[in-house]
Structure 1
Amino acid sequence: MENRRFILIGILGALLFFIYQAWQKDYPAAAPVPATAAAPAADVPKAAATETSAAAATPADAQAADTGERIRVETDLFIAEIAARGGELRRLQLKDYAAVKDQPARMALLDDEAGRLFVLQSGLAGPQAPLSSPDTVYSSAQSSYQLSQGNDQLEVLLTHQNADGVLIRKTYVFKRGSYQIDLAQSVQNASAAPLSLSPYVRLLRTAYQQGGEPRFAHTFTGVGFYQQAEAGSAKYKFKKTALDKLDKEKVEQAQTGGWISILQHYFVAAIIPPADEAVTYSARPRSSAPGYIAQYVGNAVSVAPGAEQRFATRLYIGPKLQDHVAEVAPGFELTLDYGLLSFIAKYMFLVLKFFHGLTANWGVAIILLTLVVKLALYKLSEAQYRSMARMKVFSPKIQEIRERYADDRERQQKAMMDLYKKEGFNPLAGCWPILVQFPVFISLYWVLLESVELRQAPFALWLQDLSAPDPFYVLPVLYGITMFLQQRLSGNQTMDPTQQRVMQIMPIALTAFFAFFQSGLVLYWVVNGLISIAQQWYIMRKLDREGAKK
């Protein structure tokens, strides 16, 4: 088996991988058709029962639109809007992330505009009816809040008092420099009867795409659940379920600790109860309108007349930053998914980050990473080119074998293997550098696709977004040229006519193929090709000099 057959197999393997990614994006499973009737009893999730109360129920999911008063909140990282109706977090813009490259609009992770719906609801459920729900109207001392200089946090207090004199408070705490938000719900029971309450917090989202997604890549949008491996176990596992699969793979589990989230490309919104709290998690399609719900419900607690009870929950709403995800909660680093080769991709990102720290340019960091990879594989490359040189020597004998056994493929292959054995030559020796490159290639693909740090990152000249395709197709064309030059340097003495035709087409095919990929990935491959040409030229000249001395 000759070297170029392995090259073809490797290239076709990569092509099939990316075609599969594109197929997953363009032809997802059909989303469930929502019911139009009112929510049935099965749509009311149950909280874990306690000795003081039967299981409590969260309110139905019909309320989602809001046209009432909004409370504006601005911090160093967020511009948020909280609805007085329900005390819902209806809109949250990330000030450090543009929605579209070079446009003033900020990325709205939570949103209820332009046909989108991604909001955070919270309240206090009761055994028969909720004490506070999306219909509860809260009041606030101010209509606008801003984190001032010198303060590290900002509190937004909402209050509501019902006809029985029960006072409900909902407090959002925003912290400087943090995408974590503390949410506290408290109740002061001024009524004559005890109250049985369960806190709940839920994310409600429709299945829209954020926009600006890579054209030839499949990115995940769905629920991420950090669940207990089994009842009472200290071990947890991370389960992901795409939104359009929730009709068949509903989440429903009572456990202690853990968290639930809705993931999308680059960003995550998560609900994180206290680690020692017994809770029930669930995720499902909405019953009364399009969309999906991911929520937690706490254990029922009895609040005696004159007593007060407080329920605390943490939220994380922001980017999946590699330096910070592990600090948010146990297992939260799993929200960052680099695929099957994550063990390589993580270290590759660390190398990229190191070079970015030196150069302040992710494109230069990719070039330096390519140099490191090529230097690490230099000995393998030398072995590859030595193998190619020896193949040229054997070319007349191989051609003679082909002509002699033209009608007997099996005898032809056996004769070639006998030749290799006689000459002490391993034709696979030249394949290893190529095979080793593909895990690097696939890992870098995931790093560029998943790392929010590289989102909209500029390089130079016309390349102002390494996470997007080259707008003028310069890099794909350069890649095609480098591949053509490598073929010319390698020669084709050991290839049959069919292989030669395929290899001649490959530079053109891959030029078109790479036109759809992130420019950062194509930059890596172009630089890799240029270095390979230089290495090949140097090593072949070195081998020629060695041969001349013998």
Structure 2
Amino acid sequence: MDINKRTILWIVFAVSLVILWNDWMVSNGKQSMFSMTPPPKVATVPAATALAPPVPGALPGVGNVVADPSLPAALKSEIITVTTDVFKVDIDTAGGVIRRLELLKFKEPTHPGWLGGCFGLSKECQTNRGSEKNEVLFEQGGGKTYLAQTGLLGAAGLPNHNTIFVAKPGARALDNGNQVQLVLEGTQGGVKLTKTFTFKRGDYVIDMRHDVTNTGAAPVTPSLYLQLLHDGNKPVGDSFFNSSYTGPTLYTSTDHYNKLKFEDIEKGKASHATKASDGWIAISQHFFVSAFIPASTPREIRTEKVATNLYSISTVQPMGTVAPSATVSTDARLYSGPQDEKRLEAVAPGLDLVKDYIWLTIIAKPIFWVMTQLHNVLGNWGWTIVAFTILIKLLFFPLSAAGYRSMAKMKVVAPKMTAIREKFKNDPAKMNQATMELYKKEKINPLGGCLPILVQMPVFLALYWVLQSSVEFRGAPWILWIQDLSQHDPWCILPILYAISMFVQQKLNPAPADPMQAKMMLFMPLIFSVMFFFFPSGLVLYWVVNNLLSIAQQWVINKKLMPDPLK
């Protein structure tokens, strides 16, 4: 048994070292040792082809734009930029595609460096610190494809995201107003499609109205599609210790929230609702989301591989029969911005679920609510973490006190336990029997020290996901050297404090009876502190404060609350 324990402990130690080295490589822009694929692929778009009549119900390809031969030769596509107080949006008149969306109130994540410059090992870390570039969601180029497209299906040659549209004159910025509109018109196949984009002050929702006018002599039965395209690459900065989800998500009132993987779409194994009359579709990523919220009418939901390393999620909504000279309209909304719970709840039912707390939502949401109330008073998310950790410690103090008393009893009877092991070392059955009799005689619950930890664990895990998922911590400073609670500690001070506090805690607790286990426990502060080099500093701050409070708590219990025979 001792040999097996040593082997397992050394394997765990070796695997931890390998994982730490791999994460160091990833954080410095190197290829992961666990990745079997080359660096991220560039999402490729098929070459331009003539606009052949689409297969009924199938979305047009994402090829380069081909103008309708009936349009004037002088008609060319252009990029129109609309600017509000929250974002800058580039819309291409070729298809009315949203090609770029820049968030003006959020900066892109940057590597804060190590000890002022990544220990001098990475030029990227030294030059990338302090970037003032804004976060960009929709864009195409540099190995990234992320687009929002709309158009019509149902007959040959209907206007779609390949059609050349004409922009009506009008304002392109809010200026002193509260909203600005962009109107695009495109005629093709005897149908005119008018897209109206409405942008409002302080709002990350883009209202989109589609007016379909039949300019031909025969009735048409079009369907409107809303489509989001995204490449299958991992997000920049994603690593083993700080991994995040990027992929298609959707919600319906019957099937509720569903997360999909690009890998499953690639293999044709993506399982999700295919029909709905409410809900939304989205592309979710760490801290941000872009979601189409169609009108509440029956529609289809589709996911597919569009091209090499390029995938889509879309809805297709029938618009009924449109008689000659008649017009049919439908509204939709596009939210593209931060995963702010209040904003998302106000936009659409279930949209706040993209801020994913996994199975801990029932605990995590109340935790975040309490932290928000603390932040309203303190005004700093770092001090909010400290204050919330204190509240958690006070809440679980009676449970922790019971646990420490149980451990103290175990420490008192430790010599007797050692004597039992020596006496029955060749007879495990009698050893267990004698141990249980000792527990019964001394009134010791062997699980007494573990039970408080087990009860608190769901709360601690939920808090981890709150700190990991909340955009509020992104770019939020604490004090001095911590200027972004979502990034690692650039001077490694918090991880070192964690190691010291964990070492002190171990000294206050009873030492393990197994000498090999005791030696390995001495390595644990070092292993965890090195792991915490790569964790967001907000998470490490929580664990440091938690350890310091645990030390103080244990001292109070030992000095004030522990019965005299156990002190």
What TM-score, normalized to structure 2? 0.83
Q: Which of the residues 92, 100, 107 maps onto 1:83?
A: 92
Q: Which residue is 2:283 aligned to?
A: 262
CA distance in 1, matches of 2:565, 2:100: 71
CA distance in 2, matches of 1:65, 1:368: 59
Question: In structure 2, which of residues 102, 114, 117 is the aligned counterpart of residue 93 of structure 1?
Answer: 102
Does the alignment pair 1:216 with 2:241? yes
Instruction: Specify every segment of 5 or more residues in structure 1 that has no aligned partner in the other structure, as ranges.
Output: 47-54, 229-234
Change (3 A) 1:38 1:65: closer
CA contact (8 A) 2:41 2:233 kept: no
The answer on whether the counterparts of 2:204 and 2:335 sit within 8 Å (CA) in structure 1 is yes
Alignment partner, residue 303 of structure 2: 283
Task: Return the offset for 1:36.
Answer: 9.4
Instruction: Show the counterpart of 1:62.
Output: 63
Shift of 1:33: 12
Distance of aligned partners of 1:104 and 1:39 in 2 relative to their CA distance in 1, 3 Å threshold: closer
Q: What is the alpha-carbon distance in structure 2 between the residues aligned to residue 78 and residue 34 of structure 1?
A: 25
2:554 aligned partner: 536
1:183 to 205, 208, 214: 208
The structural deviation recorded for 1:155 is 1.0
Matched residue type, 2:540: V
1:232-254 deviations in Å (ceiling 9; x for gaps)? xxx33222111121122245723
User: Higher RCO, 1 or 2 (CA under 8 Å, sep at least 6)?
Assistant: 1
**Equivalent residue letter for 1:285:** K
Task: State the 1:71 CA deviation.
Answer: 0.3
Q: Distance in 2 between matches of 1:548 and 1:142?
A: 84
**Which of 170, 193, 200 is the aligned partner of 1:168?**
193
CA distance in 2, matches of 1:419, 1:119: 68
What secondary structure does 2:376 align onto? helix
Counterparts of 1:36 and 1:73, CA distance in 2: 26
Alpha carbon RMSD of aligned pairs, Å? 3.4
Q: Distance in 2 between matches of 1:176 and 1:29?
A: 46
Q: Is the 8 A contact 1:204 1:291 kept in 2?
A: yes
Residue 52 of structure 1 aligns with which residue? none
Counting aligned pairs with the same residue, the percent is 38
Question: Structure 1 residues 505, 100: CA separation in 2 closer, same or farther (over 3 Å shift)?
Answer: closer
Give the Å deviation of 1:107: 0.7
CA deviation vs aligned residue, 1:167-218 (integer Å, no higher than 9, x gap): 3311101122221111112133333232331111111111234434465133
| Partners of 1:543 and 1:39 in 2: CA distance | 78
Gap change, CA 1:91 and 1:65, over 3 Å in 2: farther
Cα deviation, residue 109, structure 1: 0.8
Q: CA contact under 8 A between 1:454 and 1:466: conserved in structure 2?
A: yes
Output the amino acid matched with 2:168. A
Return 138-147 or 455-464, whichever deviates more: 138-147
Q: Partners in 2 of 1:335 and 1:27 — Cα distance?
A: 28
User: Does the 8 A contact of 1:70 with 1:143 survive in 2?
Assistant: no
SS in 1 for 2:490: coil
Residue in 2 that maps onto 1:135: 162
The runs of 5 or more residues in structure 2 that have no matched partner are: 27-31, 68-75, 111-129
**Structure 2: how far apart are the matches of 1:274 and 1:382?**
56
Distance 1:548 1:29, change over 3 A: closer
1:304-383 map, 5 Å: 304-383=323-402
Task: Say yes or no: does 1:503 pair with 2:514.
Answer: no
Give the drift of 1:451. 1.1
Match of 2:149 among 118, 121, 124: 121
* Residues 477, 34 of structure 1: alpha-carbon distance in 2 compared, 3 angstrom cutoff: closer
Question: Hey, what does 2:217 align to over in structure 1?
Answer: 192
Distance 1:345 1:112, change over 3 A: same
Distance 1:396 1:532 in 2: 26
Cα distance, 1:68 vs structure 2: 4.3
1:399 Cα deviation (Å)? 1.8
Q: Is the 8 A contact 2:88 2:104 kept in 1?
A: yes
1:489-526 deviation per Cα after TM superposition (whole angstroms, max 9, x unaligned): 2242x622122112222111211222221111111111
| Counterparts in 2 of 1:39 and 1:281: CA distance versus 1, 3 Å | farther
Matches within 5 A, 1:377-456: 377-456=396-475
Change (3 A) 1:224 1:447: same
C-alpha contact 1:39 1:60 (8 A) present in aligned 2: no
1:521 aligns with 2:535: no
User: Using the alignment, how far apart are the partners of 2:207 and 2:157 within structure 1?
Assistant: 22
Which is further off, 328-337 or 154-163? 154-163
User: Aligned equivalents of 1:134 and 1:28: distance in 2?
Assistant: 35
Farther off after superposition, 252-261 or 77-86: 252-261
